[in-house]
Every structure is written in C-alpha cells, then in structure tokens.
Structure 1
C-alpha cells in the first residue's frame, strides 16, 4: 500500500518535468526572431536589448531599413563597434545592434563575425531593391528567363528523341544478342523480359534527366528576379549540398575501401602461395599420412575458405556502410538464419571432411554401406554417390555413412580389384574337402575372378545342423562386369558344379533326431573333385 503513492508521485513529477521542458523550449523558440528584408534573411535576434524583445528588435529594424530604402539615396552599410555591441549602420541611420548573446552558440561565433555576415546580407538586400526598381534590368531578367525556358524545352525534346532512338537501337541489338545466346536449342534469356526491362530502364533514365533539368531551370528562373532570388539560391544550395555530401562520402570511403581491397588482394596472394605449397608437398611425398593426393583439393578449398573468412573479418570495418544500422541488422539476421538452419548442413559437411581425411572411402572402390552396395563414383562435402551393379546410382548423406558400418571390398586386395564373397551351408554328411574343392572350381569357372591370388574357402561356423562355408576371391575392376554380375555368374557356377557332383545345396533342419548319424566315412573324405594329399 505504500508503494502506490510513491509511484503516483513519481509519475506526476515526471509529467511536470516534461511539461516544463516543453514550455522552456517553446519560450526559447518564441524569443528568437529573424529579420527578413525583401524575402532575404538578414539576422536572427536571440536576446533582449535594452528591454526590447527579439521580435520587437526585428520589427523596428525592418521599419528603419524600409524607410531608408524608400528614400532612394545611396546607402552605405558599415559596422561600428560600441560598448553595447556591434552597430550596423545603413547610411546615417542605425539599422540594428548585434550583441554577443545574438551569436549562435552551436557555431561558436562572436558578435563581430555575426555583424559582418548580417551586413553582407543587408548589402545584397539593398542591391536587389535597386534592381527591382530598375525596369531595364527587370526586362533583361525576364529575357533570360524566357531564353532559359526555350532552351529547356529544346533539351527536353532532345532527351525524348534520343531516348526513342536509343531504345529502338538497343532493343534491336539486345534482341539479336539474346537470340544468339543458346545452349543447344534453348535460349538462355527471355527476350520479352529483357526488352521490357531495358525499355523501362531507359525511360527511368530519361525521366531522371528531365527532372534534373527542370530543377535547374526553376532554380535559374527564381534566381533571375530579385524578390525570388533567395529561393533560387536555396534550391541551388540544396542540390549542391546533396552532391557535396555524396562526393564527401565517396572521397571519405576511398581510403577505407583501398584498405579493404588491399586485404582481399593479400588474401588472394596467400591462397595462391598455400596452393603452391600443397602441390609441392604432394609431389614430394604423395603418401604423406595427413596429405594424400585425393585430399589435396579439399585441403586447398578449406584453406581458401579460412583465409577468405579471416580477410572478410579484417576488412569488415573498412567496408562502406559497415557501421550503419541497416548493415548491422542484416549481419544479425544472416547470423540468426545460419544458427537456426545450418545445423544439419554443418553436420553433413563435418561428416564429409571426416570421410575425406580418414580415407574411409575412395572413388573407384567397391563398398557396402549398411544395406547399400556399389562402386564409389563421387565424394562430395555433403553426399557420396555409389553406383550399383543393377543400373542404379545411390546418393547417400555423409552423416549416414559415418554412423553406419562400412565394408570395403577393394581396400584389402593385392593390387587393383575388389573382393567377391558368398556363403553356402551344406550338411555334415557332405565331406568338407569336397565342398571346398567344388567352391574353388566354381570360382575358377567364373570370368573376371583372378587366379592369382587364388580363391579361398573358410569355414566360418559349425552350426547345429550344418557348417558354414565362405568363398572369398578377388575380381578385376577393369573387366566390363560389375560386381553384381560377377557374383551372379559365380552363384550359377556353384549350382552347376554341385549338381555335377551330386551334392544338393540345402541347409538341413530336423524335427527329430535321425536314426543314422550324419557322418562322413574316411573312404569318402576325398570325393571328386577333392584331391587327396600326395603320399611321401
């Protein structure tokens, strides 16, 4: 209950302070008064003088100046110092007095410089009054305005004609060039859209030139007459001010832009130097543990990206507009988008780098990744493509490869080639020597399987009902037969060989224990095509 009265008192005090500040600002603005003579600002009074407010001082000075101008005498403007301030004399009359309080505190001026500037403005007002009262000079000004209007109309007509001619010529040229830019029978550019955009661009350019020309014409016409000359000068000053600001911005940005360009050129030089070093290391030590031939392009790309990012970070403060709020907001937006949407991309890229630098896969090797099997045809930063022997091409994400068991059939072979293997399960009543001999015979009959190194058979398991035989052989990758075709031919030959020797390929299972034991007698150990060892 105590906090509410305190809060209410604080709010009331804040409102009163705001109102008081607004009242002071209004009083300050009311206390200032600008002396204007013949549509030209002479001086701004900012303080009282001998009890007279700024508005009264401006009104009295205007009356004195107009009275002196109406006399038509030759008026000399002088500035005389006095203890009260700077006296601005118009002939023998005192036009006004400038005190030290009338100086603008933001410009750090004194009363003397303010008086000199006011005297110059008053001199111009006097000259423009005399010009207005001279019919001959007014006729010359009117003639100049009419002549300028005629020239502007002629220039506007020329701009229209030049735009029409340029549009016709450029449209014909662009249409001919666009028709010639083709890939096969497909044009690269849409002629209608290109011509429409070019026509609109020329129209906007012509309108811009016409608007600038009319702006200059208006400024010239207003400056030709005494009463409107100050308006024309303001128009010229506004345009020149914009042009000056643009030029100052361009000139001011040149040194920083030069530094940024120098940083980027130095980065380009470092990238070229690093590429040469990698090339020399590869030639000197092609089997270096951390730098192999297939990792050189990726290493060069990573080094280039790292150098460019470092160069961009160094050159960022020197880029034009880098310190503006719009540029900072755009940088924050891009960072937020990358942080929210690039997690999976970064994961895929990291997995690609792991595969590249660990040498898990190489282009041309025959591998099995999970349930997918084929020859590696391309390894990218985000995906890996393998081609199966069945006419399929699979694109696998690198993150899936790093998280799966990979079986490489090409890495463990002697020389070029890949491994071909298959598993059969035959009952215990068939001699294992005969099974091994038949499997090796089937491998020898299969085109593409090498004789050296010779095929081998391994008994990988002794299960309850049958032993497991695994045939392992090496095939030649240069043969125009994919592994799937070689494996299919091998299976067909295994069936033919087993059928020839009267052995059925079947994995026995029993519902009950058989009466006869499933044994191989000694005399049957070397059934054809098994060969007994030579007796010494």
Structure 2
C-alpha cells in the first residue's frame, strides 16, 4: 500500500484520532521552532508526532560529527532526513492554510531550520565560538554603559543651561508688554519632556543591548532574533499605519479647510444682511451674534460628519466604543442642556429681552447685563448680579420697564392707598410733586397718576414716571428717594398716608366737600377744561 493511502486509511479507521488533528503541535529543537504538525499520520496525532521527531533528532545529534540534512520525497509528502535517518515527515495537511506554500516549500523551510539548529549546536560545543560570543557581549555591555553615562552627562549639562536659555527666550515672547510664558511652568514642562526623552533612549538602548547579547549565544539566539523582529515589526506597523493614514488625513484636512472658507463667507454674508438689508426682519444687530454662532456650528458639525470616515482610526473598535460612550453621555445629559439652549434662542429671536433693559422676571427685578445661550444675568438695584436659567424666564411672566419708554431709560412706579376723605386731586398733585423733586426722574414725558382700584375702605393710586437710564444711580436708590419725597410732600400738606379699615359706620359721612376738591397743591383748571383725570364735574366756582 502506498504511503499517502496508508495515512488516509489510518485517519478513516480512527475517527477519535481525527478529532484530535485539529490541535496543531509545535516541534522545537534547541529553543528554535522547526515545524508545526497539523495532520494525523498513521494514527499519530500531532502531539505524538512531535514527541517522536524530538526523540529521533536528539538521538542523532548526540552521536556528534558532521550532520547532513536532506529531503526525500514520498508520494505527495516529504521525509526530512538527518544523516540519512528519518527525523519527521511533512504531509500536505501539515501546510498552514493561511500561507500560500506548497508541501515541498514547507518541507524545505523545515529542513533549513533543522540545519540551522545543527550548526548552532555545533557552534555551542566549540570553545572559540563561545569565547568570541562572550567577548562581543562584554564589548556591547561596555558600549551600553558608556552610552548611559553620556545620556546622564548630557542631561546634567542641559539642566544647567536651560534656565538661562529659557529666561532669555521668554523675555522676547511678549504680547502687549505682557509675558506669554510663565518660567516656572515652562521649566517644569521642559524637565518632564527631557526626562521622557531620556528614559525612551535608555529603554531603547537596553532593548538593543539585550537583543544583541542574546543573539551571540546559540541557545538564546532565537530570543534575540524575536526581540529584533518584534521591534522591527512594531516600527513597520507604525510606519505602515502612518502611510495608510496620510491620504485620509489629507482629505479630512481639505474638508476642514473648505468648511472654514464656507464659515467665513457665511459670517460676512450674515453681517451684510444684518447691517445693510431690511428685508430680513429676524436678522439684526441683536440676533447677528447667535445666528453667526449657530451657522458656524452647523457648518463645522457637517464637516466633522463628512471627515469622520477619513480620520485615522475611525474604523477601529476603540474609536467606535468612544463614539458610543460620547453619544450615551450626550443623550443622558442633553435634555436640560437642549432645553436651556432652545429657551435662549427663543428669548433672542423673539426679542423678549435686550441688554440694558430694566425688567422684572418673576420675583427678580433688575437691569439685563448679559444674555447667553443657557443663562441670563441681571443686576439688581442693590448691586446683586442674578443668573437666571433661560427656561425659567420663558416659563414666567416678564415685565419690561424699558421697552415702552421714550429714548433711553426705564419706568418707575409706586402705589399708595389713602382714605376716601382725602381729595383725589390733592393726592395726585402731591404724588406728581414728589416725582418732580426726585433726581433721575424726567419731566418729559410727565409723571402720571392712575387710580387703579376703589377698594372698600380706600382708593389705590399708582404713580408712573420715567427714569433716566444713563444716570449713575441704581433703581433701588431712586425708588428710596422717591418714597422719601412722597412722605415729605404728604407731611407738608398735612395728609396722612394710611389705609383705614372701618369696624362700624362713622358718625359723619366720609366725603370731600366740593370747596375742598382743589386743596393745595392741586390747581383749579380754567373754565371749560376738564378738572383732572376722571373728573367729569362742571367748574362751579
């Protein structure tokens, strides 16, 4: 029976052995890999074949002498012979399916490795070769120590020269007379960079020294070769990655440059529309800045989405995991953030508030100092700066005291309640007189008094006036001065500021006699003119 037919028959007759053939076994001689067995041969699984080959080769090499490695073909397989004796057999099923090699090429490679083991074994038994290896190792060690001392010496010299050099250069780096770099932080940064460079060089030298020394001795030579090949493989991998990433990186940079140009064009276009065109109502000086920011944000987000597939590492699992993590964080924390931003946009484009206006938002009252995307700041009359969320502003009633005034300024108002036994004309005149005496309240438009309510026990009078916005006086001080003048005026004319509440009917009717309708400081109107706000009577004096 032929050899290949016998091997196939052995596999068919022993299905349990066939299941073990899926576990490859590696043949190592003198710390070097010779062959990886993958097939079941004559009932022997790869692990058993490795044991037999190891025993056969070790027995032949113990005999010493000049050992010859040859190949002998048999059917579709090859026998590797050592001094004419069989070492192991290479079958077609032993060929690595990932490598495009024939059975003969695999057998020749295994024979070459075995020949190298034979030569290294002979070298290890030669005294001159070992002495030469020791000499080279000592020379490499001395060179390694000398290089380490050189690095240490150079580091010490740099540390001595760097402070003066950095001080001289830092003095030249100034903008507007201010020094850009802080020497303390700069010195720490440079020290750390030098330490990183030093340790990198030390590790590379140690790596190369170890690889060189291991390569001098036959038994450790495979380890040295692996160290060298690993370092070169890493460098090759990094260089190949850089080369592969360059085209995509160039495309991404080109996309970002195009986005930058479009963004600059959009900024200039929006600016012209805001200052020169009156056909776009929603775009003006107030909405120009947020509109420009939103436009730029949209352009750059679109550019990032376009450039993302071309970025280095965009297709790796780590990059995908990072994208999922960022998306999860944004989705969990973006609800309130998006709500605040949307409220800010609503306030901006509906022009509910403007910088410099005096407003009342809920229980808070003051001058708008800053309108942001997420919050709005107002300064109260007491000098406090309040930061209000935009969502709170859109969800509450906002009173704007500056929007209806003439020119720059804001509205001030106050309320008093006086009994029905005091002439309303006198009360109105006294309130207007108090407003006239208060610095910061303008005479044009003139202050007005409104009777806003006729309660059970007293009428309610509201004084409304316009204050000068440019006057350096907080509203709290202005209101305090106005209230002080109201008290002074009422005291001068003998009118009590009180809101009476009756427990029973009075003996005398609480009415104002007609002759007291125009008590000072009220002035009687000319004949034929109205007698005052709400006065429908005829002048009978």
TM-score normalised to structure 1 length = 0.80
Q: Which residue does the alignment assign to 1:470? A: 462
Residues 479-518 of structure 1: pairs in structure 2 closer than 5 A? 479-518=471-510
| CA distance in structure 1 between the partners assigned to 2:229 and 2:398 by the alignment | 76
| CA distance in structure 1 between the partners assigned to 2:41 and 2:325 by the alignment | 58
Instruction: For residues 302-343 of structure 1, give each alpha carbon's deviation from its aligned partner in whole angstroms, at most 9, with x where no partner exists.
Output: 233333333344444444444444444444444444444454
| CA distance in structure 2 between the partners assigned to 1:441 and 1:22 by the alignment | 115
- CA 1:353/1:25 → structure 2, altered by over 3 Å: closer, same or farther? farther
1:211 to 192, 203, 209: 203
Residues 229-378 of structure 1: pairs in structure 2 closer than 5 A? 229-285=221-277, 288-378=280-370
Q: Which residue does the alignment assign to 2:519? A: 527
Q: For residue 23 of structure 1, report the CA deviation from its aligned partner.
A: 9.0
Instruction: For residues 45-93 of structure 1, give each alpha carbon's deviation from its aligned partner in whole angstroms, at most 9, with x where no partner exists.
Output: 4446677763476258627974997147xx5x66565534346577877
1:220 to 179, 188, 212: 212
Does residue 54 (structure 1) correspond to residue 46 (structure 2)? The answer is no
Structure 1 contact 69–126 (Cα < 8 Å) conserved: no
Q: Which residue does the alignment assign to 1:12? A: none
Residues 369-518 of structure 1: pairs in structure 2 closer than 5 A? 369-518=361-510
| CA distance in structure 1 between the partners assigned to 2:508 and 2:90 by the alignment | 136
Q: For residue 440 of structure 1, report the CA deviation from its aligned partner.
A: 2.7
Structure 2 contact 38–93 (Cα < 8 Å) conserved: yes
| CA distance in structure 1 between the partners assigned to 2:102 and 2:314 by the alignment | 39
Which moves more between the two structures, 309-318 or 237-246? 309-318
Structure 2 contact 274–284 (Cα < 8 Å) conserved: yes
**Counterpart secondary structure, 1:376:** strand
| CA distance in structure 1 between the partners assigned to 2:454 and 2:430 by the alignment | 19
| CA distance in structure 1 between the partners assigned to 2:510 and 2:423 by the alignment | 11
- CA 1:146/1:332 → structure 2, altered by over 3 Å: closer, same or farther? same
Instruction: For residues 115-157 of structure 1, give each alpha carbon's deviation from its aligned partner in whole angstroms, at most 9, with x where no partner exists.
Output: 3323433454455466567766665555433332322221122
The alignment yields a C-alpha RMSD, in angstroms, of 4.1
- For these two proteins, the number of residue pairs brought into alignment is 510
Structure 2 contact 412–467 (Cα < 8 Å) conserved: yes
- CA 1:477/1:35 → structure 2, altered by over 3 Å: closer, same or farther? closer
| CA distance in structure 2 between the partners assigned to 1:360 and 1:350 by the alignment | 14
Does residue 34 (structure 1) correspond to residue 24 (structure 2)? The answer is no
Q: Which residue does the alignment assign to 2:147? A: 155
Q: For residue 410 of structure 1, report the CA deviation from its aligned partner.
A: 0.6
| CA distance in structure 2 between the partners assigned to 1:376 and 1:295 by the alignment | 16
Structure 1 contact 35–62 (Cα < 8 Å) conserved: no
- CA 1:226/1:468 → structure 2, altered by over 3 Å: closer, same or farther? closer
- Unaligned segments of structure 1, at least 5 residues: 1-20
| CA distance in structure 2 between the partners assigned to 1:510 and 1:65 by the alignment | 130
- CA 1:524/1:111 → structure 2, altered by over 3 Å: closer, same or farther? same
